Amino acid sequence: DTGVSQNPRHKITKRGQNVTFRCDPISEHNRLYWYRQTLGQGPEFLTYFQNEAQLEKSRLLSDRFSAERPKGSFSTLEIQRTEQGDSAMYLCASSLQGEQFFGPGTRLTVL
Amino acid sequence: DQQVKQNSPSLSVQEGRISILNCDYTNSMFDYFLWYKKYPAEGPTFLISISSIKDKNEDGRFTVFLNKSAKHLSLHIVPSQPGDSAVYFCAAREGRDSSYKLIFGSGTRLLVRP
């Protein structure tokens, strides 16, 4: 399977805990995006990498959120001190220049 | 401030008929538009796109129409099939934004009845 993969698919955590998600993009794609989707809404942009450089962050991305793409391949998104409002689907997408290809997402539930 | 709006949360269509999904936008700097389809528990799947220099793009049963003066686009599915039942998202990006990040609408849930 050469699509975008994300792990884990589901994560349940208690408020205050840290969580980390992983995204493996399509191998030749240099652009990588993280989005967040809540119920009844479309995906909202969080951050963007071109190769290993994080070039843009949304104001939605509070200082509890950090993302990395250390070797320009896979990426991780960490949320520290999770809050109930962080419960959402976290989507990763990759592209060259045209359409973005999405992974299946990681559904986070913060209790 | 929603820059991309899908005002119909749901649409129900008989199999074999045409499905028309609508999308409005407010940002005149958008120059590329995309439609994605999403099934439950899966990520969005790219369906079709259109550049702002065109007013129509067709791919099999799917056609996207763009009316720049009205800041409106629509997705036509003909003929509709039960497997088309999903949530459809309209998305747009700004040409001057080098990140190519997408701005999504809130989606329209399409149900195609057998």
Q: What is the pLDDT of residues B26-39, one digit of tens each?
A: 999 999 999 999 99
List chain A residues with CB under 8 Å of B88: none
Asked whether B71 and B28 are in contact (CB, 8 A), the reply is yes
In order along its 114 residues, chain B shows pLDDT tens digits of: 789 999 999 999 999 999 999 999 999 999 999 999 999 888 999 999 999 999 999 999 999 999 999 999 999 999 999 999 999 999 999 878 888 899 999 999 999 999
- Residue A100 and residue B111: Cα distance in Å, rounded? 25
Nearest CB among B4, B44, B101 relative to A102 is that of B44
- Condensed to tens digits (0 to 9), the pLDDT of residues A34-79 reads 999 999 999 999 999 999 999 999 988 889 999 999 988 999 999 9
CA-nearest residue of chain B to A92? B43
Q: What is the mean pLDDT of chain A?
A: 94
User: What does the block give as tokens for B27?
Assistant: 């940002």
Residue A104: cis peptide before it, omega within 30 degrees of 0 = no
Residue B93: what residue type? Answer: R
Q: What is the percent of chain A with per-residue pLDDT over 70, rounded to a whole number?
A: 99
Residue A1: is its pLDDT beyond 60?
A: no
Task: With CB atoms and an 8 Å threshold, state whether A45 touches B34.
Answer: no
A73 phi, psi to nearest 5 deg: -115, -95
**Is residue B41 within 8 angstroms of chain A, CB to CB?**
yes
DSSP codes joined into one string, B49-93: EEETT-SEEEETTEEEEEETTTTEEEEEESS--GGG-EEEEEEEE
Look at residue B15 in the predicted model and tell me its pLDDT: 97
Residue B8: what residue type? Answer: S
List chain A residues with CB under 8 Å of B45: 102
- Residue A81 and residue A14: Cα distance in Å, rounded? 9
Distance from CA of A104 to the nearest CA of B (A): 4
pLDDT band at A89 (very low <50, low <70, confident <90, very high): very high
Asked whether A47 and A57 are in contact (CB, 8 A), the reply is yes
- Residue A29 and residue A3: Cα distance in Å, rounded? 11
Look at residue A60 in the predicted model and tell me its pLDDT: 82
List chain B residues with CB under 8 Å of A45: 101-103
